[in-house]
Structure 1
Amino acid sequence: MPIHSFLNYLALEKKYSQHTITAYLKDLNSFQEFCNNEFDKQRIIEANYAQIRSWIVALVNANISNRTINRKISSLKSFYKFLQKTKEIDSNPLAKHKALKVPKQVQVPFSEKEIRNAINLLDEEVDFESLRNRLIIELFYTTGMRRSELINLKLTNLDFANETVKVLGKRNKERYIPLLKPVQNSLKKYIEVRNEMNTNETYLFLTKKGKKIYNTLVYRVINNYFSSVSSKVKKSPHILRHSFATHLLNEGADLNSVKELLGHSSLASTQVYTHSSMGKLKEIYNQAHPRSKKN
């Protein structure tokens, strides 16, 4: 069976979780059920784009969200790519399909109080992991760096003399970000404990076993601590980067300066964060504009 072969292929790739593989199976079975009902039990391996479009229309009419429909179609597209690779079909019927438009989700930054409370949870702890976790939160919030940039920081990237950290961003573009005094102090405390570990790793952030940290560990650190202080749905490293930019703009920072700190190649990318700052901007505007003082 092609579907079972596809799922076995995903399992062997070792980059797909069981949850993801189960989602693929559910999506493929959903389309197969549609084909059974609408096209006289036709196998999905034989489906053409017009028939897939009929399924998409049925999903839309069933009030399934565009985001969910896109996921289902993505599963089907991956399945057909696999069939092409194994030469069971000549062409992918979804090769030219364009995903349905989905509304951009407004990401709500953490408040200054939430960030302060998350850091305070680690105030009394002085063991290796607590010092590391506090520093991870502080660096995200005070530098706005990306998760991949933080993970790949090396000890040699730190310049205490000039109070900066060198970050390697997208397309290997380097930038230098200032380090606040409290963060420098946290760095020195962490490095002092880190130096006691028996490791030759050159990366700044390590696991307790002396290995380079990884994506899910960093996400878990942020999610765990902020779950204790925030009721926001999304609690991730990117929300801390979002908070960094939003809070700077709220305090009157120049958009171009924030762009450079974030490592964006264009202002268009940075302007996303001005949405969250609009409330503060309106407040300043209403207080300062001469017309606001007239009844």
Structure 2
Amino acid sequence: MDPLIEDYLSDVEASKAYGTYENRKSDLRIYHDWLDKHDLEVTEVGSRDIHRFLREQGKKFSNSTAASRHDSVKLLYDFLAGVWDMVEESPFEDLKRSNYTKSTGGKKHQTDDIVYVTPDDKEAMAEHVPTPTLRNELILRLLYQTGVRRGELAIIEIDNIDREARSIRVYAPKTDEWRIVYYQPSLDFLLTQWMDSGYRSAYKPAEESPYLFVSERAERLSDHAINQIVKKAAENAGIQDVMYTDGGGQKRHRITAHAFRHGHAVQAIKNDIDIRRLQLHLGHEKIDTTQQYLQFKNEEVQAAMKKFNPSPEGPETA
């Protein structure tokens, strides 16, 4: 692979989660092969060349794959223009991600008024968090992996975290109860960087604060600040929509911190997590609240059955 691409991937490997690194590596290997096929160099292409590449990806592959290829190549050129100064400017000014994904003809990731963040949404947002990037990427990934409410995340204390068990003791002001949630090993790097490598302690309020997430001025982030981080990341990633304007003239956005909670629940259902276990994990008082997510399992079954085409003239095949 081109040495400049390898330099960028080394930077990603050192600063991002392993899954992000693998996605970028896969996308950029495809891009490198395309450049090689067309006898082009990484630093010599223009917007027109990249447009041709992205247009091919959009025609051949799913929306999520095409979007991932767009983001990976864009971030490569952002890196080359900003860190190494190898190109004068990124050739992506007019190459919007939406130009290379197929229209879904209406609501995105929304069923019966449940608006949720998909794994692809989450990865795109993690790559586009506002500064400080390490803290804010950790916030997004914790929201998605644990399904906690933004108000619960805001009051997590360092002593609530068992890093060996990868568990967090969470207090829910809504129900006045405690519960245990779990995170994945993929979060270890970001959590270690934030807590042990000087990132958190660089904030003056951290000296006296028991809370996991601090800011420049306060001993803990507010739940409003967490929601703003989420909405800004979605906007930066180009996947935010205004759903409507309320009676007070305030814009209501599709992607919020609560959409991360919904995304966690939807993914859990699709991964066959028992509904009762999910209820306890999310801290729902009533099972009815959790059962709203069962529709997504029904969608999975329906999609599988549509692929099943029994024929009296031959074997039953997909």
Q: Partners in 1 of 2:240 and 2:166 — Cα distance? A: 34
* Residue 153 (structure 2) pairs with residue 153 (structure 1): no
1:210: Cα distance to partner? Answer: 4.4
Determine if contact 2:154/2:222 at 8 Å carries over to the other structure: yes
Which residue type is aligned with residue 202 of structure 2?
Answer: E
Give distance in 2, aligned partners of 1:155 and 1:216: 20
Paired amino acid for 1:205: F
Is 2:214 the counterpart of 1:206? yes
Give the deviation of 1:282 after TM superposition: 1.3
Q: Identify if the C-alpha distance between structure 1 residues 294 and 108 changes in structure 2 by more than 3 Å, giving closer, same or farther.
A: farther
Q: Which residue is 2:61 aligned to?
A: none
* Residue-pair matches, total: 185
TM-score by length of 1: 0.57
Match of 2:190 among 186, 189, 194: 186
The equivalences for 1:9-88 within 5 A come to none
Amino acid at match of 1:267: I
Partner of 1:257: 277
Counterpart check, 1:227 vs 2:235: yes
1:112 equivalenced with 2:114 (yes/no): no
Q: Normalization by structure 2: what TM-score?
A: 0.53
Number of the residue aligned with 2:226: 218
Once the two structures are superposed, residues 22-62 of structure 1 have per-residue CA deviations (whole angstroms, 9 ceiling, x without a partner) of: xxxxxxxxxxxxxxxxxxxxxxxxxxxxxxxxxxxxxxxxx
CA contact (8 A) 2:203 2:215 kept: no
Aligned: 1:139 with 2:156 = no
Q: Is the 8 A contact 1:109 1:240 kept in 2?
A: yes
Deviates more, 1:137-146 or 1:204-213: 204-213
What's the CA shift for 1:294? Answer: 4.3
Q: Hey, what does 2:181 align to over in structure 1? A: 177
2: CA distance, partners of 1:287 / 1:260? 34
What is the rounded CA distance, in whole Å, between the counterparts of 2:294 and 2:141 in structure 1? 22
* SS in structure 2 at match of 1:293: coil
Are the aligned partners of 1:110 and 1:240 in contact in 2 as well (CA < 8 Å)?
A: yes
CA contact (8 A) 2:147 2:264 kept: yes
Partner of 1:195: 201
Counterpart CA distance in 2 for 1:223 and 1:109 is 13
Q: Equivalents in 1 of 2:270, 2:311: separation in Å?
A: 26
Given residue 214 of structure 1, which amino acid in structure 2 is its aligned partner?
A: S
Between 238-247 and 206-215, report the one with greater CA deviation.
206-215
Q: What is the deviation of 1:246?
A: 0.5
Cα distance in structure 2, aligned partners of 1:278 and 1:223: 30
Determine which structure has more spread, i.e. the larger CA radius of gyration. Answer: 1
Output the CA distance in 2 between the equivalents of 1:258 and 1:184.
23
Identify the range of structure 1 (273-282 vs 238-247) with the bigger mean alpha-carbon deviation: 273-282
C-alpha root-mean-square deviation of aligned residues, in Å? Answer: 2.3
> 2:268 touches 2:278 (CA, 8 Å); kept in 1?
yes
Decide whether the 8 Å contact of 1:197 with 1:210 is kept in 2.
no
What CA distance in whole angstroms lies between the structure 1 residues aligned with 2:125 and 2:210? 28
Structure 2 segments unaligned to the other structure (5+ residues)? 1-110, 244-253, 313-318
2:262 alignment partner AA: H
**Does the aligned pair in 1 maintain the 2:209–2:220 contact within 8 Å?**
yes
Report the residue type matching 1:113 in the other structure: D
Aligned 8 A contact 1:166 1:177 in 2 = yes
Q: CA deviation at 1:273?
A: 2.0
Tell whether the 8 Å contact from 1:151 to 1:205 is kept in structure 2 after alignment.
Answer: yes
Q: Could you list the structure 1 runs, at least 4 aligned residues long, displaced by more than 4 angstroms after superposition.
A: 285-288
Aligned to 2:299: 279
Provide, for residues 132-165 of structure 1, a one-character-per-residue CA deviation record: whole Å limited to 9, x for no partner.
1111101110000011110110010100122111
CA contact (8 A) 2:117 2:260 kept: yes
Structure 1 293/254 Cα, relative in aligned 2: closer, same or farther at 3 Å?
A: farther
Of 275, 281, 289 in structure 2, the residue corresponding to residue 269 of structure 1 is: 289
